[in-house]
A and B are shown apart, each in its own frame.
Chain A
């Protein structure tokens, strides 16, 4: 398995591309692993999502060997939980699911349509849409394993790219495969066996274009996964005031897995909003147990559940 060594000693292992006609719906587990595809889940709900994804890609799945660049321009931080339920901060909005006491998440996934955004001023804006593990509370508070889509706006032009970061390591941006505004992107991160993991496999699918890629990364030195939270987030990495109006994002097929078990969503799932002073910059709401809606400027009151 080839290893790519980037600046800051970021090491990425790539997988051998699958042969033409490779079908993840029937391939043996060893071949899925060899090519960096997610394992076929045992849980019936997750298996249904898995089948749906690879069925719609049949005949047009294009495996792309990933290429990277290191970014020192932006980085992502944790958002430490200050209270349960809904709370606000200056960088994350979205949904968070906590692992049951004594257990840890070993995988997280979700889909989103990358929204377009326009800068309102000549300031640089950066919008990040990602799924991840940790960075929120307890033993996982200082480390975040995350992968997603960025929309970077500067001087009137915008660029979209895929990226990952295992905080506190440096962020790596993916230069190929490409992603564009309006594309439906699937993101999956597996970090077996959950707590204690020091390697993870990232699997990206551009469902609209059919491009798929996968690679394996290592935890930052001296760091290991806690796996105590899973999240689906719209982030303002620079500042709340440098999040461009993105319209809205629906994260769907949101799933977080425990080893040997899929955790059903629970009412304890939490939501986060981004505020700047008293202004709501980005709000979020769980509209079903596996769909979270994030809205620039805040969720409409008509979307909120009726008062009890």
Chain B
């Protein structure tokens, strides 16, 4: 297990590679933790999800030692509210009264994106996270997912894709070494010990090609998890107030669960959770909409572009 100090001083740990034949479906809890796998939770629903994800990947699982880059991955939104109606679309659930979330999970297909014109850069981030939405949890946000950029059209088309996490107000960190392409189905699980946590494990598996990695991350100084919200989001990461969101098609987050620290989970779905949408312009016009489709499935749908001024 290696401890790495990033340029900005934040500390992360990587995990040892699991031995050949390691089976997360039968391994002891201590072994799972040792190798950076998400814990196997006891209730039926969590267990079934665990079996579904690991069962489908077991024959092609390939652990990749992660490497990291800081800076540049994601423009900062300092002093902006973390959540606003101009940058998030997707689904949000709140922790039951008196309880906190300790984890969040989902898998989704990474969309392919094109720039509608060559005049600007376009960008989306698809991610899952805890906090950042409401109440005492609005000041921190622990999130992990995929950020994509696109510029140019035709022969000048240039697409960027990066796997990243960020514990706001800390800096975004890009994880390199995991092979992810548009059209791949990627599973992300964030695990903490719940309210008050200052460390978290981010586990990522590309379910299509089997590449997987884990990293233990630390909260920024004076920050700890509140765990009062969990969310599944397509975000327009920069240029708040402008339309820099390309037609990303649609993203279905499936297998969505928010784990409660004291046991059990909250599953987003119709009648269970809130949707958020991205609006652009004045008056605001919706360019990306969140829909709670069915238990465990959150759809983000591009609906723009906004009307011309």
Contact = CB atoms under 8 A, between A and B. Distances in A.
A246 to B, nearest CB: 7
Contact of A181 (B181, B295, B299): B181
B113 interface: yes
Contacts of B110: 182
Interface residues of A, number: 39
A118 interface: yes
Given A182-B182, A207-B247, A291 B116 contact: no
Contacts of B111: 113, 182, 184, 208
What DSSP secondary structure best describes chain A's contact surface?
A: loop
B248 interface: yes
B197 interface: no
B49 interface: yes
Contacts of B209: 118
* Residue of B49, B116, B183, B295 ringed by the most chain A CB atoms within 10 A: B183
A56 B304 contact: yes
Interface in B162-191: 181-185
Interface string B98-127: 000000000101111110110000000000
Interface string B245-280: 001111010110000000000000000000000000
Given A113-B250, A210-B116, A300-B52, A287 B302 contact: no
B297 interface: yes
A38 to B, nearest CB: 19
B109 A247 contact: yes
Interface in A182-231: 182-184, 207-210
B184 A247 contact: yes
Interface string A53-91: 001101110000000000000000000000000000000
Contact of B55 (A208, A297, A303): A297
Interface residues of B, number: 42
A115 B114 contact: no
A182 B297 contact: no
Contact of B254 (A111, A209, A301, A303): A303
Given A52-B303, A182-B112, A114 B183 contact: yes
A128 B252 CA distance: 20
Interface in A143-173: none
15 contacts: A56-B303, A111-B250, A113-B249, A116-B182, A117-B208, A118-B209, A182-B182, A182-B183, A183-B112, A252-B250, A252-B299, A300-B255, A302-B45, A303-B254, A303-B294
Top 3 A-B residue pairs of the complex, sorted by shortest distance between their CB atoms: A181-B183, A184-B249, A247-B185
Given A113-B111, A116-B183, A288-B294, 4 more contacts: A56-B247, A56-B302, A182-B111, A302-B48
Interface of A: 52, 55-56, 58-60, 111, 113-118, 120, 180-184, 207-210, 245-248, 250, 252, 287-288, 291, 293, 296-297, 300-303
Interface of B: 45, 48-49, 52, 55-56, 59-60, 107, 109-114, 116-117, 181-185, 207-209, 247-250, 252, 254-255, 293-297, 299, 302-305
